């Protein structure tokens, strides 16, 4: 099993275990839109229970910072889409000494299963983005 596939399996297991019984979990493969900036995870896993005011979200940056799924705030939840936001301190170097607080915002379109993720690093006049497709798991 490749490293990327095993990491995705760990992500899915971590968030599924911590999700409510009525939640739906999604695994999203995201491709960055910028060739010059990082900061967008290639795999994003989130879990939504429409009766709750929060979404559980997990990716490589969250794993590195917290080693567990975190709550994201729901911005929009309607029959067409989910939009949610969360904040993570993203390491900028391999030694983790320098971090950039990044505010993320994701929109998932229910009909097409497409996701759009944007990151806004605090203190920088640049934002990063990516798009992809999600697979409902439960």
Which is more confidently placed, 20 or 137?
137
In the chain, the largest separation of any two C-alpha atoms, in whole Å, equals 43
| pLDDT at res. 34 | 72
| Lowest mean pLDDT segment, chosen from 13-17, 57-61, 80-84 | 13-17
Q: Give the β-pairing of 81-91 and 70-77.
A: antiparallel
Predicted pLDDT of residue 89: 82
CA-CA distances (angstroms) from residue 10 to 17, 22, 31, 68, 115? 11, 21, 20, 10, 21
Q: pTM of the full predicted structure?
A: 0.79
Q: Within its chain, how far is the Cα of 7 from the centroid?
A: 14
| CA–CA dist 86, 57 (Å, integer) | 8
The answer to whether residue 20 scores a pLDDT higher than 60 is no
- Helix locations, the chain, DSSP H: 3-18, 60-66
Q: Taking 80 as the threshold, does the pLDDT of residue 60 lie above it?
A: yes
Distance, CA of 135 to CA of 115 (rounded, Å): 10
pLDDT exceeds cutoff 90 at 6: no
Joined together, the tokens standing for residue 127 give: 């934002």
CA distance 52 to 66: 22
pLDDT in tens, 63-104: 988 899 999 999 999 999 999 999 998 766 666 667 788 899
Give the per-residue pLDDT at 11: 52
**8 or 109: which leads in pLDDT:** 109
The residue that leads in pLDDT, 94 or 62, is 62
pLDDT at 21: 62
φ/ψ (deg, to 5) at 38: -95, -145
* pLDDT exceeds cutoff 60 at 134: yes
Domains of the chain from N-terminus onward = 3-136 (2.40.128)
């Amino acid at each position: 099993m490749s490293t990327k596939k095993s990491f995705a399996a760990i992500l899915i297991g971590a968030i599924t275990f911590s999700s409510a019984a009525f939640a739906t979990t999604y695994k999203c493969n995201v491709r960055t839109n910028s060739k010059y900036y990082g900061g967008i995870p290639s795999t994003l896993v989130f879990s939504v229970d429409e009766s709750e005011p929060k979404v559980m979200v997990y990716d490589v940056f969250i794993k590195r910072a917290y080693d567990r799924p975190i709550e994201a705030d729901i911005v929009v939840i309607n029959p067409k889409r989910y939009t949610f936001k969360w904040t993570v301190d993203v390491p900028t170097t391999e030694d983790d000494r320098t971090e950039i607080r990044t505010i993320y915002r994701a929109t998932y379109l229910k009909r097409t299963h497409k996701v759009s993720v944007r990151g806004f690093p605090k203190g920088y006049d640049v934002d990063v983005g990516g798009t992809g497709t999600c697979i409902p798991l439960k």
